[in-house]
Amino acid sequence: MKNLLQILKTRYRIMFAAYFVLSASLPSIAQVLSINEVTTDVSIIKEKGTRRVGTGRYRVFKYLDKVGRVIKSDTYFKRTHFATEEFIYDQWNNIVLNTQTDWINPQKQANVCKYSYVYEGSRIILQTKTISDNDSSVMELVYNHGDTILNYLERSFLVRGSNEMRFTRETNYILKFQNGLPMRREVKIKGSATSELTKLEDDNNHMLKRQSIQRRINTRPMTYTGYPASDDEFYEYKLDTNGRIRKLYKIINGRKYKIMTYKYKSK
């Protein structure tokens, strides 16, 4: 089970890396820091990890609606159906409901995430997320410099005991755009036990090129196990004739690893 959890952590790191390619056709109004894709000519996306980096035993199938939004995602570990995610959207293609079911532990209650938004023109200025156990986060646009630099501040809360809400951490997102497309993102997390700054840089095709993490000096160095990872990573891609990712590579200390392969079923 420990190895399985490590593999799933790998999945979400890789999904975050690949998002900025797969989301090239997202509309101007898009969920803040969203990972949902809009791919209008595809009905199913199949993601498969590679054995060389220890993720070859899991596969993910994403099912898209006629608009091109992912409405269901099934994850398999070896031949076991591990988990299912389902999504409901608003008219702006932003997720309003995300249900996550763990099939390994069927007695466990499904995890439900609800989202609500406040818009100003074509821009989300407030995003609220509530989880099944009433934990929540609020992300607010606190600075906008001509739509080229956006600063979002997120505050996260936990509900424990007799419904007592407790602040846990604050995350600051700085998004920098060029010609309306993201070119650089900075994520600074500040909490009671951690403080780190993540910087993400895109190439000229608006694909994630580099991810670097700077941690607080008195924080223990991060130790990565089970898959290639580092606090300073570069990415490369092989695309098909439609400009979609077919292979995703990660480069660490000059060594290249093939992380994921993608297949697409047309409508």
Highest mean pLDDT among 158-167, 177-186, 235-244: 235-244
Mean pLDDT value of segment 40-47: 90
* DSSP-derived 3-state class of residue 262: strand
In this structure, what are the phi and psi dihedrals at residue 52, rounded to the nearest 5 degrees?
-60, -35
Kindly state the tokens that stand for 144.
């906008």
In this predicted structure, the answer to whether residue 27 has a pLDDT above a threshold of 80 is: no
Instruction: Tell me the percentage of the chain whose pLDDT exceeds 70.
Output: 73
**Alpha-carbon distance values, 25 to 29, 50, 142, 153 (Å):** 11, 27, 26, 26
pLDDT of residue 109: 75
Mean pLDDT value of segment 51-70: 80
pLDDT digits (tens, 9 = 90+) for 180-214: 767 788 888 776 555 677 888 888 777 788 888 87
Kindly state the tokens that stand for 197.
């700054």
* DSSP-derived 3-state class of residue 109: coil
CA angle, residues 134, 63, 122, in degrees to nearest 5: 60
pLDDT band at residue 51 under the 50/70/90 scheme: low
Angstrom distance (rounded) from CA 95 to CA 71: 10
Mean pLDDT value of segment 129-145: 87
107's enclosing H/E stretch is none
**Alpha-carbon distance values, 200 to 48, 66, 69, 247 (Å):** 24, 32, 25, 20
pLDDT of residue 116: 94
pLDDT band at residue 262 under the 50/70/90 scheme: very high
pLDDT band at residue 226 under the 50/70/90 scheme: low
Mean of pLDDT over the chain: 77
Mean pLDDT value of segment 236-261: 90
pTM comes to: 0.76
142 or 109, which is more confident? 142
Mean pLDDT value of segment 59-67: 92
In this predicted structure, the answer to whether residue 88 has a pLDDT above a threshold of 90 is: yes
Domains of the chain: 2-266 (2.40.160)
pLDDT of residue 259: 86
pLDDT of residue 195: 66
91 or 64, which is more confident? 64
Kindly state the tokens that stand for 64.
């898209």
pLDDT band at residue 225 under the 50/70/90 scheme: low
